[in-house]
Structure 1
Amino acid sequence: MMCNPLFCKTLPELDAEASRRVAMAERPTNALSASPNGRSKRALGQFSKFWAPGRTLTIGFFNDTPIVHKAAIEKVARQWLRSANLKFDFVDGMLADIRIYTDGDDNYSQVGTDALLASPMDATMALGVKPDDPLFGRTVLHEFGHVLGLLHEHQHPKANIPWDIPKLYAYFAAKGVDQQTVDINLLDKTDKALAKGTAYDRASIMHYSVLQEQTVGDWEVGINHTLSRRDRMFARRIYPKVVA
């Protein structure tokens, strides 16, 4: 997912079949499944790209990043580990599973196990946001949600956001964004067969803010800065404790 000041847009898969193979090798239960009544379970992670529970992900930096900046990213990212049974090992250099680029203005991340497909010469995440930015914590949590395999909550199949589509298109057209890009990043719903988990969550860290002027009636979502109760619950469900 690539994030800019307007929204995150989906990064194209390097190779769809390779993405499937690496996900299955990492965690066989990444194969699509359905509930006993024939309906797919719902939530906000891409089910086919989750890491194995208990996995240690090495995390390095793709460019020269000040120690204080690195420490700030690590402190925020570790909030996910209070719920998810994973480990983050922040290492020196860029030889790591997750490689963060902190120069520039972009904020994005490969989703889950797709990080394993990126060339060793490429970053798997960009965090252009700086520690003194009011959105720093929210952005780091959001991008590490993508690292865990989570998708955008506003595109949940049951979100039912009452978009005022003409106004939405006009709002983004004024910012140089075309209708197709708006469709992909805001209006298109996540395929129920590709995800499972909790109910739609307006408080999720994976939800974009929604302006009143973009919807019909009295409906908006502010900027979520912290992990919601359902974010934490979902992380525990997808990355449970491993029983010996």
Structure 2
Amino acid sequence: MPRAHARKTRNPTYKKTAKKKSAVPVTKSAMRLCALAPRTVRPLSATVMADPIRARSIMVSQSKWMNGTVLHYCFFTSGHFAVPKRQAAAIRNAFARWKRVGIGLQFKEVKELREAEVRIGYSVKDGGSYSSVGREVLNDPLTQPTTVYGWSLTTKEGRSTALHEIGHVLGMEHEHQNPFAGIKWHEEAVYKNLKAPPNEWTRKETFDNILQKLSLEQVQGSKWDPKSIMEYEFDPGLIAEPKRYEAEGLFPPGTLSAADKKWVRKWYPPLKKSPDRLHALKPVVVSLDAGKQIDFVIEPASSRKYTIETKGASDTTLVLYEVIDGMPRYVSGDDDSGEERNAAISHKLFRGRQYVVRLRLVHPGPTGEVSLVYS
């Protein structure tokens, strides 16, 4: 979901709080907010939930891309979601800003919507900006946008919005819903604020997008970053605690914070070495920390159907790519996290072509070792 935009009003009204009977400014809604669509939390078995470290590893990892992935993006050029040229240029600049942080992901613009994982639309009429989160974009219909912008991105606010939405594409959640933030709300003031124009949200929409906390399993780290690009702006009178934001409101700088950059480099560190070759019928055993990844190259000796699979008690994500024009393109993937099985991909590979297999260890299990083989 995109960043909320707020501006300070010159003449706020004042509402007495029940506890301290002090003046708390409550502004009319000046924020242009947009909301994520309802999301389905991945169900985990009672056995998995009994191990909070394992459950958290699975929940945090589920929306993240494999490092080294080339994310193809495409703009709608006609119809309701057509993106004007100036807005498209602003979005390209936002992708470049994220890339300059020094990450292993790559971004490539393509001309055909069906070739893109990230399909970008623009619609001022709809009045909102929103995006699917991380790998969830793969569940969206190919004819529909995965990310929509609802206002100009050429202003300072708009540039922040462009960065924020791409943060969602990378798998980032909203900071104000972080359970470690310690935010307590003047809830009725929040409902009233968001019910008014320009948002006109229902109570459920406000609860889902503002008041509801993420579960502990969905959150990385144990600190709140009020300067994050993923943090909303909030007018005075909406936040009860921390107290400093009650009268002042919360106005992040609208740029990538130090913590944002640290987070994205953790999940997508620069690719520093060429992957080793994986030979048919010759398993390799690797030992990885939770969340870490290893890549291998496959160059099949004959054209036939192969099975690439893991062995061991670890939770893993396995993805196969074909190298086309020097760029890896997604072929297939499997994730055995939280299940009593191993990840496996069966697919026809062709002699003379090159493939890349990426293996992420989601949770190490009892040994931290996993075997990978293709046959």
Q: TM-score range by the shorter chain?
A: 0.7 to 0.9
> How far apart, in 2, do the equivalents of 1:178 and 1:137 lie?
28
Q: Is the CA contact (8 Å cut-off) linking 1:153 and 1:200 kept in structure 2?
A: yes
Q: Which runs of 4+ in 1 moved over 6 A?
A: none
TM-score (norm 2): 0.54
Of the candidates 82, 91, 95, which is equivalent to residue 77 of structure 1? Answer: 95
Of the candidates 75, 96, 102, which is equivalent to residue 122 of structure 2? Answer: 102
Superposition RMSD on alpha carbons, in Å? 2.8
Q: Is the CA contact (8 Å cut-off) linking 1:63 and 1:103 kept in structure 2?
A: no
Q: Which residue of 2 aligns with 1:7?
A: 33
What letter matches 1:93 in structure 2?
Answer: E
Aligned residue pair count: 225
> How far apart, in 1, do the equivalents of 2:208 and 2:92 lie?
30
Q: Which residue of 2 aligns with 1:164?
A: 186
> How far apart, in 2, do the equivalents of 1:76 and 1:147 lie?
12
Q: Which residue of 2 aligns with 1:221?
A: 250
> How far apart, in 2, do the equivalents of 1:198 and 1:233 lie?
14
> How far apart, in 2, do the equivalents of 1:106 and 1:143 lie?
12
Q: Which residue of 1 aligns with 2:263?
A: 234
Unaligned runs of 5+ in 1: 21-32
Unaligned runs of 5+ in 2: 5-30, 45-50, 274-375
Q: Percent identity?
A: 28
TM-score (norm 1): 0.80
> How far apart, in 2, do the equivalents of 1:215 and 1:128 lie?
26
Cα separation, partners in 2 of 1:70 and 1:198, compared to 1, 3 Å = farther
Q: Is the CA contact (8 Å cut-off) linking 1:129 and 1:139 kept in structure 2?
A: no
What letter matches 1:60 in structure 2?
Answer: C
Cα separation, partners in 2 of 1:47 and 1:108, compared to 1, 3 Å = same
Secondary structure, in 3 states, of the residue corresponding to 1:180? helix
> How far apart, in 2, do the equivalents of 1:226 and 1:2 lie?
14
Secondary structure, in 3 states, of the residue corresponding to 2:185? coil
| Higher share of residues assigned helix | 1
Q: Is the CA contact (8 Å cut-off) linking 1:167 and 1:214 kept in structure 2?
A: yes
Is 1:202 paired with 2:221? no
What letter matches 2:155 in structure 1?
Answer: D
Cα separation, partners in 2 of 1:66 and 1:6, compared to 1, 3 Å = closer
Secondary structure, in 3 states, of the residue corresponding to 1:231? helix
Secondary structure, in 3 states, of the residue corresponding to 2:164? helix
Q: Which residue of 1 aligns with 2:68?
A: 54
What displacement does 1:179 show?
2.5
What letter matches 1:90 in structure 2?
Answer: E
Cα separation, partners in 2 of 1:63 and 1:72, compared to 1, 3 Å = same
Which entry has the higher C-alpha Rg, 1 or 2? 2
Q: Is the CA contact (8 Å cut-off) linking 2:65 and 2:135 kept in structure 1?
A: yes
| Higher share of residues assigned strand | 2
Cα separation, partners in 2 of 1:235 and 1:197, compared to 1, 3 Å = farther
